[in-house]
A and B are shown apart, each in its own frame.
Chain A
Amino acid sequence: MNEILKMAFGSLGVNKLRSFLTMSGITIGVFSVIGVMTAVSALRGSIETGLSFLGSNMFQFSRFPAFGVNGNSEHKYLARRRVSLDQAQRYIEFMRGSADVICLKAFANGNPLVQASYGNHKTTKGVTFGGTNQYFLKANQFEIGTGRNFSPEDVDLVRPFALIGQEIVDKLFPSENPLGKLLKANDRTYTVIGVFASKGTMFGGSEDNIIMIPISRFLMDFGAEQYSVNIATESPSQTQYNATMEKGITAMRVVRGLRPEQDNDFEIYSNDTLIAAFAKVADVVSSGAFVISAIALLAAGVGIMNIMLVSVTERTKEIGVRKAVGARKIVILTQFLVESVVLSVTGGLVGILLGTVAGDGLAAVLSAEIVFPWGWAAAGVVVCTAIGVVFGMYPAWKAASLDPIEALRYE
């Protein structure tokens, strides 16, 4: 066996470029699936270990689901009534005593992209801009760096105040204290009352590139009829979580005026449902990667078969010599099979390596934890071995069945 491996590497080394090109097909096929799987498992791992979308013990109601809206069902969501600020405030009333930390949020839809300015200073387009209340900090794990949080009165009195992220400070107030200054966002003017402590990046976007104003002000300035309010509720404790959510759903149904036979006309998410939704998206992406890599691997397998057939023809004389000195069929068969398996597995290992690096690279950009996908890597090696065997079988069988004297005579 050792001998056969040595021979295989030897003869593959003779045609380095050709071997390399043949291998690269396998590499691409394995790369795509391993890359996606690595990224997905890294993200999934991070999400499950607490890098949550919502604060812990929180659930959220909104008009639209978080992700995975596909063409057909979009109508269903568009037909839903918006969640108005009035409904949200009645919800808060209902929940008083059961849950006090209830964050209301609405975000500019990004059309046009939001840009803020102060004097001659401008931010780039694409600032996260929205309205909220005093519980934004708690619900989204923000903290105040300098200045103060919104107060209930700021919301009640529809004050034109703003809390801004560190990136906005860097861009608009490079050499000034931002507190008390008037900045412009979407052509409206707001007084800066506080700066969020820097959070860094999450899922590829900076969380410091943000301007938040009181939700009442946001809806007044940009049209209450345009926006639906998201309601995030924090259960007082883990043990009361389910009961609180039950109560919250009931409150929402009352506020929305639903009759008992009507379905909920709002989405409910908790970290669990968000994880499930993520998993669904991940599954779609993964199946896509599977299809792509299956096609790539099939093509690569045919490439291996082709190159092995060429190799058998080129080495007819060598095969004749080996047979003349006593190589049995199975030995020749094994030799060529090992060559094709070495080709495909080497290609596969390179693909696994590159895929892991790329997948983890993506995961790192999205601040997820780095993983090595042992299971996928093992599956990749198994699949590549199978490809080598399946597509190498015919050429190897052809080599093994050559007539010794015909083979020796071949020029």
Chain B
Amino acid sequence: MSPPAPVETRPVRPVGPLVIAIEGVTKLYQMGEETIHALRGVTLDIRRNEYLAIMGPSGSGKSTLMNMLGCLDTPTSGKYEFNGNDVAAMTDDELAEIRNREIGFVFQTFNLLPRSDALRNVELPLIYAGVPSGERHERARLALESVGLGNRIHHKPNELSGGQRQRVAVARALVNRPSIILADEPTGNLDSKTGVEILALFEDLYEAGNTLIVVTHEEAVARHARRVIRLHDGLIESDGHVY
């Protein structure tokens, strides 16, 4: 793997208050007879305005951890506090509300609604937040402009390239001004040139004051982050402001 770029080329913004605090989190999957320990006890603090990469080989538990951080999944044991609130104590609807207002999730496979155009996809979180339609259109349009898709707002996902689809997904993650943006292998389904574009977009978001957590197994992607966590077999192997 290529060595990281020199640190002085990238500004490091001062971090803010604690957003995520997890302690001794485990996740077990029962596959018939076999119990899979996807996470074996992970402890981690993440602050506002961090740009964090979670690295590790395939099967090391990155996605499992990410889904948990994104309140899509719940730990088998351990503690998870989001903005000081115990996630384990929340109802499904409270979790939905956190996902809606506090978290912007970018998936490896984009997960756009295929029959809806870009604008409508980006509007989706705003619909569920109860934002009235005028304001909703405007904010969705602005979010699409901010990812460079201002001229593609009425294209359906299948009328867009992979990179453009991922931009739509990023716009959707941004549109509700969440506390953190989570991206699980956001460049995994993109060619390297398009991947670079998305990473440049993340850099802009970071510099604009957003908090980013990016899962990747590529050093080249992790190099863009300001802090890197390495997972191995469900445990944190190293955690440091490496670059």
Contact = CB atoms under 8 A, between A and B. Distances in A.
Interface stretch (B89-97, B144-152, B203-211): B89-97
Contact of A328 (B73, B107, B115, B128): B128
Contacts of A322: 124, 128
B129 A326 contact: yes
Contacts of B124: 321-322, 325
Interface string B58-100: 0000000001001011000000000000000000110011011
Contacts of B96: 323, 326-329
A329 B93 contact: yes
A362 to B, nearest CB: 43
Interface residues of B, number: 25
B122 to A, nearest CB: 10
Contact of A325 (B67, B73, B92, B99): B99
Contact of B125 (A3, A325, A405): A325
A396 to B, nearest CB: 15
A324 B115 contact: no
A326 B128 contact: yes
Given A326-B100, A329-B93, A404-B72, A3 B111 contact: no
Nearest to A2: B133
Contacts of B176: 326
Contacts of A327: 96, 100, 128
Interface string A363-399: 0000000000000000000000000000000000000
A347 interface: no
A17 interface: no
A331 B111 contact: no
A3 B125 CA distance: 13
Interface string A1-43: 0010000001100100000000000000000000000000000
Contacts of A11: 115
A14 B115 contact: yes
A131 interface: no
B93 A324 contact: no
A321 B113 contact: yes
Contacts of B107: 408
Contact of B111 (A320, A326, A329): A320
A326 to B, nearest CB: 2
Nearest to A327: B128
A326 B99 contact: yes
Contacts of B70: 324
A358 to B, nearest CB: 37
A405 B73 contact: yes
A187 interface: no
Nearest to B94: A328
A318 interface: yes
A324 B99 CA distance: 7
A317 B125 CA distance: 16
A170 B176 CA distance: 84
Interface string B104-121: 010100011101000000
A335 to B, nearest CB: 11
Most chain A CB neighbours (cut-off 10 Å) among B67, B72, B97 = B72
B92 A329 contact: yes
A318 B113 contact: yes
Most B Cβ at <10 Å: residue of A14, A326, A327, A329 = A326
B101 interface: yes
B15 interface: no
B127 interface: yes
Contacts of A331: 128
A170 to B, nearest CB: 65
Give me the 7 closest cross-chain CB pairs, A-B, nearest first: A326-B100, A325-B125, A326-B128, A328-B93, A405-B73, A328-B96, A405-B72
Interface of B: 67, 70, 72-73, 92-93, 96-97, 99-101, 105, 107, 111-113, 115, 124-125, 127-129, 133, 172, 176
28 contacts: A3-B127, A3-B133, A11-B115, A320-B111, A321-B111, A321-B112, A323-B96, A323-B99, A324-B105, A325-B105, A325-B125, A325-B128, A325-B172, A326-B96, A326-B97, A326-B100, A326-B128, A327-B96, A327-B100, A328-B93, A328-B96, A328-B97, A329-B96, A330-B93, A331-B128, A404-B99, A405-B67, A405-B72
